[in-house]
Amino acid sequence: MSSPEIASLSWGQMKVKGCSTTYKDCKVWPGGSRTWDWRETGTNHSPGVQPADLEEVVKKGVKTVVIGRGMSEALQVPSSTVEYLKKNGIDVLVLQTEKAVEEYNALAAQGVKVGGVFHSTC
């Protein structure tokens, strides 16, 4: 199962190919995507992305996770979150969201089992 292409990104809106939903923040993995609802894990810009935000994506058997920190990179990614991924044998890229989407799409096009979490505003 391949990772779906992110078809479009603009401030506050993301579209995933093959999905009719418009996301503000989203999670993607091989074969699927859904809204990334920060309230589920109590996520805020600081301290930022928690391992709990990534567990669902990790469980999909990804080899790489791309984290989009927002258009202005306001979303923090603590070292503990990066370590969590590395301990699970997963490569991680932490980037500004537009760059993160480019990298994610490039990896997906190469057939890499890639997942991601993307913040589409600040």
What is the per-residue pLDDT across 2-31, written as a single tens digit (0 to 9) for each?
999 999 999 999 999 999 999 999 999 999
Distance CA 33, CA 16 (A): 7
**Is 11 buried (19+), middle (13-18) or exposed (0-12) by CB count in 10 A?**
exposed
CATH class of segment(s) 6-118: alpha beta
Contact criterion met (CB below 8 Å) for 107 and 66: yes
What is the per-residue pLDDT across 27-79, written as a single tens digit (0 to 9) for each?
999 999 999 999 999 999 999 999 999 999 999 999 999 999 999 999 999 99
